[in-house]
Chains A and B, each alone.
Chain A
């Protein structure tokens, strides 16, 4: 039982690490601020999610598991708010998104 849990926990941690690396690669490859944030959101959802899941399986039924759940809740409530604030202030500051259709973004939203 504990070996199975350990295995699942390890697999989950590996998947989380994989998505963190993918997000980092995306952060470097994407062309502008907004698309880079899209790549980063893979890290904060799938990367952090799978790593927390792995740690949860590792912790078992304990106070540490409850604290990990609280961290997960905090991340999943706070990170979209932070992303939104960042994207909004970039647009308000006049950072033009590189759009596929070649049209200009709204200059003064």
Chain B
């Protein structure tokens, strides 16, 4: 129930911020739309720990995101250097890794983080198995048992 109320508040805030016009009609329409979406989402049973993970919303922006941005900057710069190198020093590799996350949400975060980092793309996701395409051998070698794996598993804790 608390989660539903929070969901409604987030939806209404989203409407107000996007609209920027605060006439009674528009604010009423926004409230109506927010309630409508809430009812639909409840009917589809989406408002749970996995569908609306509020417990991550206040934790990740200050711990996981800054670290991920740092990783993206590092590997993005590495990929950019390889692109501009006349010899094109790439060694594409497919590698299968065994992530340590238990939940679907943790697995999705790990797989998306890998794809978001330039130089690696998650090609297949299965329970306890990720198939990753990496631009270089070194990039592939750094994936198994990585710090990203550890950090994503940490996010799963209640």
A residues in contact (CB < 8 Å) with B = 19, 22-23, 25-26, 29-30, 32, 34-35, 37-39, 41-42, 45-46, 49, 63, 66-67, 70, 76-77, 79-81, 83-84, 87-88, 91, 97-101, 105-106, 109
Contacts and interface: CB of A to CB of B under 8 A. Distances in A.
A109 B111 CA distance: 17
A29 B123 contact: no
Contact of A87 (B18, B77, B83, B121): B121
B118 A41 contact: yes
A105 to B, nearest CB: 5
A99 B132 CA distance: 13
Contacts of B30: none
A41 B20 CA distance: 33
A45 B90 contact: no
Contact of B18 (A19, A22, A38, A67): A67
A79 B72 CA distance: 14
